[in-house]
Amino acid sequence: MELQSFIVGLLVTGSFIYAAWSLMPQVVCRLLAQGLLRWPLPRAFAAFLQQAAQAQAGCNCSGCDRAPANLKKTNKPGAAQASATQPLVFHPRKRC
């Protein structure tokens, strides 16, 4: 029974950490990752934290139609009619 409780405790703790990390604002993720990088950690975990610590704010994807690079392409004659009706594009939330 003790082993089963220990395994359940590990699963619940891991699920809580994953949910907290996923729902945390990106600024807090970045600060937490920078703080955790000061500790001696395994390489794989340190690489993940290094990537999270260097993440830029905002999406910086230039994938939306209003990005500066895409606006220059659509400034052609007749482009105003085409840009009047645009489909909705839902972007997934950026992960930390």
Query: What would the pLDDT profile of 37-57 be if each residue is shown by its tens digit?
Result: 888 888 888 888 888 888 765
Ranges of each domain in the chain = 25-56
Q: Rounded distance, CA 93 to CA 24, Å?
A: 12
Instruction: List C-alpha distances in Å: 32 to 9, 40, 44.
Output: 23, 15, 17
**Contact in structure between 96 and 21 (CB atoms under 8 Å):** yes
Query: What would the pLDDT profile of 69-93 be if each residue is shown by its tens digit?
Result: 555 555 555 555 555 677 888 888 7
Q: To the nearest whole percent, how much of the chain has pLDDT over 90?
A: 21
Amino acid 79 reads A
Residue 29 has pLDDT above 60, yes or no: yes
